[in-house]
Amino acid sequence: MIKHQPFMIKGIQIYAEDYTYEKGYIKVVDGFIKEVGDVKELSSIDSLNFDEVFIPDGCSLLPGMIDIHIHGAAGTDTMDATFEAIEKMANALPHEGTTSFLATTMTQSEQAIEDALKNVTNYMKQSEGNGQAEVLGIHLEGPFINEKRNGAQPAEYITEPSLDLFKKWQEVAEGNIKLVTLAPERPGGIDLVKYLKETNVVASIGHSDATYEEVNTAILAGASHVTHLFNGMNSLHHRKPGVPGAALLRDELYVEIIADGIHVCPEMMDLAYRLKTKNKLILITDSIRAKGLTEGTYELGGQQVTVTETGATLENGTLAGSVVKMSDALQNFKKVTSCSMRDLIDMTSVNPAKQLNLFDRKGSIAEGKDADLVVMNKDLEVVFTYCRGKLAYKKGENRT
């Protein structure tokens, strides 16, 4: 970690881990939070060695957001398998308040997935992390999924869940696969779920046609997550609750929501919020390389994707990821639910950090944690983003 001049922000509303300071202060040293408290308790003598950052009136300080499901942004994709692709993503994401993420793969050939895993791992070892969103690991989405619910995942590369293949890939990734989306109802699915649980990898049910009973079996085996709720799964039926019914009813499961207003309608977002509450919801983007670019035609897993104002779709009309930003997802979710700012922080920072077992250093504003910080104005627009104490984005400046 490159050392930087200690700095301080004061006189701002701060959503700290256990308390909201209406006029608080925060001190950052060498990329970590040194102190946080009420500005009335701030010692002028102790503050002499800190550069003061001036923040516009009416802003609030939040913990950096964590996107655990993102394929690409700024013209690049995890499957590009190049250092430059991951670096572009890491540079672009602070613009939307994202300070760390899981680089997400998709269903492709074994070699293409292996190349992507090697590349992300090499990036994690080589990146200096100087003012960029941090890659926390890899989300392996597919190829262990159900062809009936493949969505934009290329069907020709789908394979049955394989313990041997996963072990090989995890070795290639040097243990950096942190979350796996799979269909537990497929042959070998439950065995893989058990192994993931044993090795502290999050087993997520997704692109699945599982029955309610099969989801319950997967939970007993160790599944604790559901990939993009309502998308890539069977429908909620009054006699066949399926994956969404189990996701909503079983407290053991965290659920992801793509809050772009396209993948899930407002009423279903509100339903998920009321049933799962802030404690078990995680907002994601599931974004593709087209995020941050103009409308047009792009590539996703060797497929042509058309991006318009109504979303990203394959030639057959199937939704193919999103172009939503985390800051927009936060705004969208707030508009359609009764959630508070604290709830939004849980869904964008606290919950993903806890699910990845990283809450000791990520996900909240507390002394000793990484200084992943986002300053938002009253309209919930990102004004400043700090990644591990380094300014990564300032509104009005282009830092990509």
Per DSSP, the residues of 163-178 read HHHHHHHHHHTTT-EE
Is 263 labelled a binding residue?
A: yes
3-class secondary-structure state, position 30 = coil
Q: How many CB atoms lie within 10 A of CB 84?
A: 11
Q: How far apart are CA 80 and CA 301, in angstroms?
A: 9
pLDDT in tens, the chain (400 residues): 456 789 999 999 999 999 999 999 999 999 999 999 999 988 777 777 899 999 999 999 999 999 999 999 999 999 999 999 999 999 999 999 999 999 999 999 999 999 999 999 999 999 877 789 999 999 999 999 999 999 889 999 999 999 999 999 999 999 999 999 999 999 999 999 999 999 999 999 999 999 999 999 999 999 999 999 999 999 999 999 999 999 999 999 999 999 999 999 999 999 999 999 999 999 999 999 998 888 888 888 778 888 887 788 888 888 877 899 999 999 999 999 989 999 999 999 999 999 999 999 999 999 999 999 999 999 999 999 999 999 999 987 765 4
Our CA dihedral for 264, 305, 90, 281, rounded to 10 degrees, sits at 10
Residues whose CB falls within 8 Å of the CB of residue 306, separated by 6 or more in sequence, listed in order: 296, 297, 312, 313, 314, 315
Tell whether residue 207 is among the known ligand binding residues.
yes
Please give the positions annotated as active site. 286
Judge whether 239 is annotated as a binding position.
Answer: yes
Task: Report the pLDDT value the prediction gives residue 47, as an integer from 0 to 100.
Answer: 74
Q: Is 361 annotated as a binding residue?
A: no
146 marked among binding-site residues: no
Q: Which stretches within 252-396 are classed as H helix?
A: 266-276, 326-336, 341-345, 351-355
Enclosing H/E stretch for 115: helix 110-126
Alpha carbons 375 and 71: distance in angstroms, whole number:
25
What gap in Å lies between CA 368 and CA 35, rounded to an integer?
8
3-state secondary structure of 329: helix
pLDDT at site 312:
83
**Whole-angstrom distance, CA of residue 253 vs CA of residue 390:** 34
Q: Is 103 annotated as a binding residue?
A: no
**Helix or strand or coil: residue 44?**
coil
First to last CA, the chain: 20
Coil, helix or strand at residue 149: helix
H helix and E strand count, the chain? 10, 21
Q: What angle do CA 107, 110, 111 make, to 5 degrees?
A: 120
**CATH numbers and ranges of domains, the chain:** 7-62+365-394 (2.30.40.10), 64-355 (3.20.20.140)
Kindly state the tokens that stand for 367. 């002394």
Is 232 part of any known ligand binding site? Answer: yes
Specify the pLDDT at position 321.
Answer: 77
* C-alpha to C-alpha distance for 67 and 97, rounded to whole angstroms: 10
